[in-house]
Copies of this chain bind each other. A is one copy, B any other.
Amino acid sequence: MSAAGTPIRDLDTPSVLVDLDRLEANIARAAAFAREHGISLRPHCKTHKVAEIARMQLAAGAVGLTVAKLGEAEAMADHGFGDIFVANQIVGPIKVRRAVALARRVRLSIGIDHIDQAVALGAAFRAEGSELPVHIEIDTGQRRAGVLPGAAAVELAEAVSRVDGVRLDGVFTHQGHDYLVPSRDEVRAVALTAQDAMVATAEAIRAELGTGCRVSIGSTPSLIDGALRAGVDELRVGAYVYLDASMANVVGHHDWCALTVLSTVVNRPTAARAVLDAGGRALSRDRRGAGTVLGTPGYGHVVEYPEMVIDRLSDEHAVIDNAGAGVAIGEKVRIIPNHAGGVSNLFDHVFAVRAGVVEDVWRVVARGRNR
């Protein structure tokens, strides 16, 4: 795929455009934040799944990568990355074998939230004559994975400390419930409450076990707000590289949004309706916490016509019911999706553009690596 030098208006649609000026600024902004506060930045690659972007993040000072799946970790290892944290639970003999194989190639660490996971991993790594660093996932309010902060986490940490083959390195959380709160002030409150619970839990584990225990937090909305307590060691943010339409609600504008989906108007069936060639299979159907601080009207922000609302998506169509007369069949528009990470997983390539011209085409190397 050679498209360097092509003006974006001459690209076929739907295509994913990544604005390099904005991407670089987003990467630099988070890196500066981490540097200023003396914490590590370990960006989550699930947002982009692109080796070139991960390299830019490391070049800006990131200490390593975060991924959601072993398959993503394997893809990134294949592209030369050497320090990867799987912020998820690894369950079952097939995945345990894959983890052992991967740990021969990279500095791998993995999340756990139940002693059974640690026991299975420990047995495999002990047989390998090796030791896997693990991090206990803490549920700071998202109600997904993780043990509760405080006593439950300390109890699990004690149990893990007795398992050969694994070594407890720290605690981590994804305070993703900040996507659902009704105001930016509450984003900040969620972040600080979660950080307080994490720092206290790590202190309790250190006191109980007499070991170190690092504190890692995630979620981009909190980063945008800059909320940070002393005692946090590491920031695992992902969405900050692209800052999609939902994140624009927290930022307050769309000027930092780096990813757009280029789309063509293919129908004008009525004076009010326009149909674009980017449906659920290009934009994803993500609404990201509709009705709250990150909620968005419709299925994406149309850059050229910000008043337009994408009311409905089918697989290959976006339907706009308030298009007005000014949009013609054949016209191309850019859509900032609600959830850029969902878009990344639908495309094999993205176009890296600057000032409206393609500089490079990047393969989404971890697309679909969901095992």
Contact = CB atoms under 8 A, between A and B. Distances in A.
A246 interface: no
A324 B139 CA distance: 19
Contact of A268 (B88, B114, B176): B114
B12 A143 contact: no
A146 B139 CA distance: 49
A296 interface: no
A355 interface: no
Contact of A92 (B12, B317, B371): B12
A362 interface: no
Interface string A249-270: 0000000000000001111110
Nearest to A282: B370
B266 A330 contact: no
Interface in A299-344: 312, 314-317, 319, 329-330, 341-342
A182 interface: no
Contacts of A341: 315
A317 B176 CA distance: 13
A68 B285 contact: no
Given A13-B371, A113-B267, A146-B267, 14 more contacts: A12-B95, A14-B370, A88-B316, A89-B266, A91-B266, A113-B269, A114-B329, A143-B319, A144-B312, A145-B269, A280-B286, A315-B341, A315-B345, A347-B370
